[in-house]
Structure 1
Amino acid sequence: DCTHALNKGVAKADVAAGLTQMMAQKIIELIAKSPKKNALIIGGVSQNRAVVNHLYSSFENLTIPDEATYFEALGAALYALKNEIKTLDKNSLVLEGKSSFSFHKDLKSFTDKVIFKSIEKNEAKENDQVILGLDVGSTTTKVILLRTNDNSIIASEYLRTNGDPITASIECYKSILSQVNVPINIIGLGVTGSGRYISGLHAQTKGIINEIIAHATATIFFDEEVDTIFEIGGQDAKYTYITSGVPSDYAMNEACSAGTGSFLEEAAKESLDIDYRDIGEIALRANRAPNFNDQCSAFISSDIKNALHEGLTKDEIVSGLVYSICLNYANRVKGNRPLGKKIFMQGGVCYNKAVPIAMAAITGKEIIVPPEPGLMGAFGVALEIKNRIELDLLEKESFDLERLINRKVEYEKSFTCAGGSEKCDRKCSISLIKINNKNYPFGGACNKYYNILANSSEETKGNNLVRLRQELVFEKYIHPLQLREDAQTIGIPKSFLTNSYYPLYYNFFTQLGFKVILGNNPEKTGIDQKQAAFCYPVELAHGFIQDLINKKPDYIFLPHVLEIHNKDSNFRDRTC
């Protein structure tokens, strides 16, 4: 959510303020049913003034002791003094026993299943015609300079986005400028990645390309026989299937970051104090790898702690962690989609060689890692811009690195979208960004303001595939029957997999003689009754149940779907 907000031009301060308010609200919700009015705040967050200020509005008396950050340790020490507990030999605290984990085979056994490709970088020549390819990701931003006459990379950079896509883009331009010591002609600038719209606006380019096209273009350039792309980035993980050189199927992780590079980095650092650059070497040293939960980052973190308590080595735990993100990808991103004859695996996480090796172990297939796997998006978008220029789908332009570096961006006061001809009532907050003394509206849930920026009059109403799917599931594929007036009613909440299986449920109960009532309005009173903080789909489920309670059916059908049979794969399809 933070990444999407930043990519839509929301100021960092507003995002940070939203985070503190959200955290305080979750705390208030957890203890809302308690009649107590006096609260003691301990722990590291007690030092966050913004969170504490929000809490003051809900409690009559808040106390933050001086010892708040080490309160539990102080309590343990006081308990030891009071009870005259003697110091124990730390070795006596650990008993060797059977581990609660099953184990994967060591990664070293699969190194021959992965091919790592390499490529030589060339140097710029005077008056080269070049195209700049920029990949603005949620975690990192990448750039390459592509020479058009031989498609060689003559300069590149890979750095952290740090929540500021425009500043990251400018730093990339600075790096490219420092690497090129002769005059060059930049005839095109392509931008891809989650931050492509805002960085594309700053660059004043029409060459904005989605990641699927960019990565597929780069892949086909290196090997026309590749039909499957695994891509794991900082917060996104994607699967692409290619037919005749064109992406024909695609999937990505939705809300979960357990199978991504940022989670791998954070888990290794926070739980094991291991730098992300050392993960690959450490994982490959292990003689076995514990089988961690692959469904949720919170559960994986818990597994890591349990493994430490059981005395597993850091090498083993890191190896298990690498396996877990690949299992998460296989189960939750790829799912039952096909594995082709030739698989490319790319994204910055592949600089950690243990990850593609783990993927080879899980899939049983040979994995090919292309040259500079983290730059494939930037390389692909540059190639795509070149192709479009050659096909007269895009005009040559002239871009100057120094102008791009010095182009200032100012954030004006945001406004609320009135909805326009669509009569939309979402009331999106729209950022107003000033570039070269001109204001640009930016953001919102739909493409309305992007189309204005792109001078596009494209009618998008008929292209709303989400709306089309809803019509298919909840209207076209249900078959109403003439039932008795006094037929009993059964309510079904429009939550979770009901959005896929509603035709089955509806037709089944209708055949049995029930009138089906759909709970489709997420009532706020229901959401407010949740006992703890949940993800958004679970919160909506509470609201849908309240809607059904208000509609008073005779029965409520609440299916619990744990696993879905997958006939075409050895992997499980397990719901969260």
Structure 2
Amino acid sequence: MEDDRLRVGIDAGAVSLNAVVLDEAGSVVYEAPYRRHMGRVEEGVAALLREIYGRFGRDRIVSVSLTGNHGRNLAQSLDVPYEFETITQVLGALHVRPDVRTIISMGGQDTALLQIRHDEGGWELEYFNTNGPCASGTGSFLDQQAQRLATSMYTEEDQVSEEQTDRVLRDFIQLGLKSRSPANVACRCTVFTKSDMIHLQNKGEKLEDIIYGLHVGNARNYISTIVSNRTLATPMLFVGGLSLNALQVKTFKEYFPELLVPPYSTSIGAIGAALQARQAGIANRVDPDRVEDVGIHGETAVPTAARLRLRETRFPESNEIRMTSIPGKTGVYLGIDIGSTTTKYALINQERRILHKSYVPTMGNPIGVTQRLLSTIRDALGKRIEILGTATTGSGRNVVGDFLNVDLIIDEITAHARGAVEIDPEVDTIFEIGGQDSKYIYISNTHPLDFDMNKVCAAGTGSFLHELANKYGINIVGEFEQIALSSERPVKLAERCTVFMESDLVSYHQKGVPREDLIAGLCYAIVYNYLNRVVEKRKIGKHVMFLGGPSLNRGVVAAFENVLGRGVTVPKHREVLGAYGAALSVQEKMAFQPRPSTFRGLERAIKDRLEYREKICRADPNCHNQCKLKIYDFDGRKSVWGG
């Protein structure tokens, strides 16, 4: 009978599969349970269809239609209808709530705002906005934070595997719901959020307060980046996978008390897809075996890149300092590079040769770590040196420079350029990849002519590699490059946010791609992310120097060489080149303007104890980053670190 006909809508999203069965009147007669596909999309869709056919009978199903991130290619392979999520989510939302005005959609890899206008002629999509290529604020973002905190949430005997993501997330949410005082967590790039969370744990913040703060930050991030200054009309619906997260719903209701979680909130797109097919009178048949066959033989071939090879790049034989005897009271110049993740120093003599160097993690304490480094200099060289000039560079240059009363505070672009030119006078381009910062510098006539840095994103930074190497239990020092260089067919990964890249890796791993091909693919990924996000269309000269932590990784260096089509210079002392450039710059300044150094001296700088207070930056009421500032007071002055 015609009234027995049923239509299936499937939303094949980035993380999950959601399906509904509608009758010809448009009523939902079945909603499949929310399920993660773990990268096995075709296998999951085939299982859904078998379940639905078994429940209702194959003959009653007159159409199957698709939507979602993974739905398009599958629909093309199966020759079935596909509709974009923007349309299907609006249709589904109007179906469950005909007078809806605003839709807040938060899924595995996409967040969106849809605003609908109604008049006598019907409805119109008035406004639409979505997240860019960043996972911040998405379901995948929260999944990753939950996995990170799993070791703190469970006892050693009760640790869970990554496959048990749903259990971890459930316990994560329940723990956060116990909090009454959210910690301040800036939900920007996931890698940077991790640093904030580690810092909060080290300070002794309760785990439930960190989790609650993470969800508050997620809501603020959505409001800041997606809603911006728009007014949201009601009725307002919350849909997508995060609508199942009671803690996220709670935090959104703190800003939008009228927010509603509708029936079938995770399957709104699937409802819209089925409704489209019904309205168009579409009829088709989909065999689950054919769906699985698409997964094995269809358009899922893994793209590959050229094998990593080092042909032209030469590495220094040694990165160590050749120590010579230092006569008493040797005049030296000290450069300190205080970065977001590490702090470095270089001590040079009058001949511009490095006598001593070191670098250690900054750990969010720029002055404390500088005092430890100064102790290292005192203990190693003691009374044999006289510091004639001191300079600071890096993101902490001002606060440390004020504390030490240095002779020169210099920006990191100038410092790196000066150090690079000293080592190789022909250098015209610098690629510098740090832990959380990446820089491009173009040099003309030994001076920086153009530069740029990464935005608030870890893709294309050292943290990007560390994060994904840790995922596979690979030591980033030594082991990583050996595995990468052994790859025969590196996977060609898309330029992606760290979280999305992780999803791609899981998907490829599920398809049987060898680990070494994935790791080699990451080497290419950091190169393409850097070139396309930092360098963009700027000029790349003939003499490229590669600096920063990843320059120690021969796999990454080989990827640069393969992509550029020529070798790069990997110099000695590359890990302290900014500090070296600062030391050279202050030496030149002191020679040009002879005077005693203003440096407060090793002993006083080491022994002085400073008080500081922390506060959240609220300079811009429309910014929801919740940046933490450390405000130091000394010598009647204030100096700020953070942001």
- What TM-score, normalized by structure 2, do the two folds share? 0.53
Deviation for aligned residue 1:22: 4.8
Q: Check whether the contact 1:226–1:344 (CA below 8 A) recurs between aligned residues.
A: yes
Partners in 2 of 1:96 and 1:357 — Cα distance? Answer: 32
1:24 aligns with 2:225: no
Amino acid at match of 1:217: R
Please give the per-residue CA displacement for 1:313-369, whole angstroms capped at 9, x wherever unaligned: 221111100110001111121121112121111112211122122111111122010
Q: Check whether the contact 1:284–1:354 (CA below 8 A) recurs between aligned residues.
A: yes
2:490 is aligned, of 265, 289, 298, to: 289
What's the RMSD between the two structures over aligned residues? 4.0
Alignment partner, residue 144 of structure 1: 346
1:235 aligns with 2:436: yes
Question: Structure 1 residues 20, 415: CA separation in 2 closer, same or farther (over 3 Å shift)?
Answer: closer
Please give the per-residue CA displacement for 1:196-242, whole angstroms capped at 9, x wherever unaligned: 12222222224211111111001110111111111111111111111
Deviation for aligned residue 1:176: 2.4
Q: Indicate the structure (1 or 2) with the bigger Cα radius of gyration.
A: 2
Q: Secondary structure at the match of 2:343?
A: strand
Alignment partner, residue 276 of structure 1: 476
Q: Check whether the contact 1:430–1:441 (CA below 8 A) recurs between aligned residues.
A: no
How many residues align? The count is 386
Q: How does 1:413-452 map to 2 (within 5 A)?
A: 432-435=631-634, 438-442=636-640
Please give the per-residue CA displacement for 1:473-514, whole angstroms capped at 9, x wherever unaligned: xxxxxxxxxxxxxxxxxxxxxxxxxxxxxxxxxxxxxxxxxx
Alignment partner, residue 380 of structure 1: 581
Q: Secondary structure at the match of 1:239?
A: strand
Partners in 2 of 1:212 and 1:15 — Cα distance? Answer: 36
Please give the per-residue CA displacement for 1:69-123, whole angstroms capped at 9, x wherever unaligned: xxxxxxxxxxxxxxxxxxxxxxxxx97998632111111x3x1221213464334
2:525 is aligned, of 308, 316, 324, to: 324
Question: Structure 1 residues 59, 388: CA separation in 2 closer, same or farther (over 3 Å shift)?
Answer: closer
Q: Check whether the contact 1:122–1:152 (CA below 8 A) recurs between aligned residues.
A: no
2:553 is aligned, of 336, 348, 352, to: 352
Amino acid at match of 1:396: S
Deviation for aligned residue 1:441: 4.9
Partners in 2 of 1:53 and 1:34 — Cα distance? Answer: 11
Partners in 1 of 2:617 and 2:516 — Cα distance? Answer: 52
Please give the per-residue CA displacement for 1:278-325, whole angstroms capped at 9, x wherever unaligned: 222221111121011114223222211112111122211111001100
1:341 is aligned, of 542, 552, 565, to: 542
Q: How does 1:492-511 map to 2 (within 5 A)?
A: none
Question: Structure 1 residues 236, 394: CA separation in 2 closer, same or farther (over 3 Å shift)?
Answer: farther
Question: Structure 1 residues 98, 285: CA separation in 2 closer, same or farther (over 3 Å shift)?
Answer: farther
Q: Check whether the contact 2:485–2:520 (CA below 8 A) recurs between aligned residues.
A: yes
Alignment partner, residue 135 of structure 1: 337
Please give the per-residue CA displacement for 1:521-562, whole angstroms capped at 9, x wherever unaligned: xxxxxxxxxxxxxxxxxxxxxxxxxxxxxxxxxxxxxxxxxx
Any stretches of 5+ residues in structure 2 without a counterpart?
Answer: 1-185, 224-235, 258-294, 621-626
Deviation for aligned residue 1:378: 0.9
Identity of aligned residues (%): 30
Question: Structure 1 residues 268, 412: CA separation in 2 closer, same or farther (over 3 Å shift)?
Answer: closer
Deviation for aligned residue 1:432: 4.2
Partners in 2 of 1:306 and 1:443 — Cα distance? Answer: 40
Deviation for aligned residue 1:163: 2.0
1:194 aligns with 2:392: no
Question: Structure 1 residues 397, 27: CA separation in 2 closer, same or farther (over 3 Å shift)?
Answer: closer
Partners in 1 of 2:423 and 2:238 — Cα distance? Answer: 62
Any stretches of 5+ residues in structure 1 without a counterpart?
Answer: 61-93, 420-427, 446-576
Q: Secondary structure at the match of 2:581?
A: helix
Deviation for aligned residue 1:56: 11
Q: How does 1:401-550 map to 2 (within 5 A)?
A: 401-412=602-613, 432-435=631-634, 438-442=636-640
Amino acid at match of 2:476: Y
Q: Secondary structure at the match of 1:129?
A: strand
Partners in 1 of 2:616 and 2:499 — Cα distance? Answer: 37
Alignment partner, residue 562 of structure 2: 361
Alignment partner, residue 462 of structure 1: none
Q: Check whether the contact 1:189–1:382 (CA below 8 A) recurs between aligned residues.
A: yes
Alignment partner, residue 168 of structure 1: 369
Amino acid at match of 1:440: K
